[in-house]
Structures are given as C-alpha cells and as structure tokens.
Amino acid sequence: MTEAAYDTDNIFAKILRGEIPSHRVYEDEAVIAFMDVMPQGSGHTLVVPKAPSRNLLDANPSTFDPLFTVVQKVALAVKKAFGADGVTILQFNEPASGQTVYHLHVHVIPRFDGIPLKPHTGGMEKPEVLVENAEKIRAALGS
C-alpha cells in the first residue's frame, strides 16, 4: 500500500511552528523534546526532529544522528530526574503499528521495577503535573 504524504498541519508540526503550546524540555537546531500530554508513565517525553517526515520509514537518514543523540540525552535525564530503574524507547510507524500523530517522534518513558506501562491512548495528564515534570527533566538536562 502507498503511504500518505506528510501533512504540514499535523499536531507536532503545529507545536514546532509554535502554533499550539507544549511543555518543552529541550530544543536545538534539529530537535525538540516535550512532555507527552497522555503519558504512559510519569515523565513520558517525546523527542521530535524538526525535519518533516511522517515517521521513520520516509525520513531522511540524516535525521537520525541528531534525533537519537537527543533521545539518549533525554533518556539519561528522565532516568535521573525520576530515579527510574530503566527507560523504554518506543517509536511507531503507520496506523497498523499504533502511530496516531504523523510526524516522526520517539517516546522516552522512565520505568520502575514491577510497574507496567499505562495504555498508549490513556487519559490526559493535569497541566500542573506536566509543568512540574518538565521542570525536573530540564533540571536534569542542565546538570
């Protein structure tokens, strides 16, 4: 099946353009990271390249070096910020895989021994919790 084209009005493109708000924890010339509003666990962060692609399948390979450099930085920061035992990295491609937002992104989720992930399409987190968690991650990234 032929994949759909990149939609410049997807929600992460709007966040990248500053048209809708996000709880940002990191930004450089190629990548941003912000809190997932429906976290699968405390500290669930999304790392998003600025270069447009639907997902990993149509991305320019030059996207991956800066993207995964930031994925590692954020993974280390969330582990430290939340005292996590581990970190799950997830990335979905096309609806059959569970993708719901069609701009390439990587999920970074702190994990704790014996605590399962919440469902992928769970409830909205309270904004004040996202603000507090973003502050913790920014602090860990800065240290």
Which residue in the list 44, 105, 107, 120 is annotated as catalytic? Answer: 105
The SS3 of residue 29 is: coil
- Rule CB under 6 A: choose which of 26, 32, 33, 36 binds ligand AMP: 36
Q: Is 120 a known active-site residue?
A: no
Which is closer to ligand AMP, CB of 121 or CB of 143?
121
Residues of span 79-108 touching ligand AMP by CB under 6 A: 92, 98-101
Which is closer to ligand AMP, CB of 42 or CB of 143?
42
| Residue 14 near residue 32 (C-beta atoms within 8 A) | no
Query: What's at 98, amino acid-wise?
Result: G
Closest CA to 100 of 127, 126, 121, 122: 121
- Residues 6 or more apart in contact with residue 46 via CB below 8 angstroms: 12, 33, 34, 35, 36, 105, 106, 107, 108
- Binding footprint of ligand AMP, residue count (CB under 6 A): 11
Closest CA to 14 of 34, 39, 29, 28: 34
CB of 1 to ligand AMP, least distance (A): 18
Examine residue 53 and tell whether it contacts ligand AMP (CB under 6 A): no
Catalytic residue set: 105
Q: Which residues bind ligand AMP (CB under 6 A)?
A: 11, 22, 36-38, 46, 92, 98-101
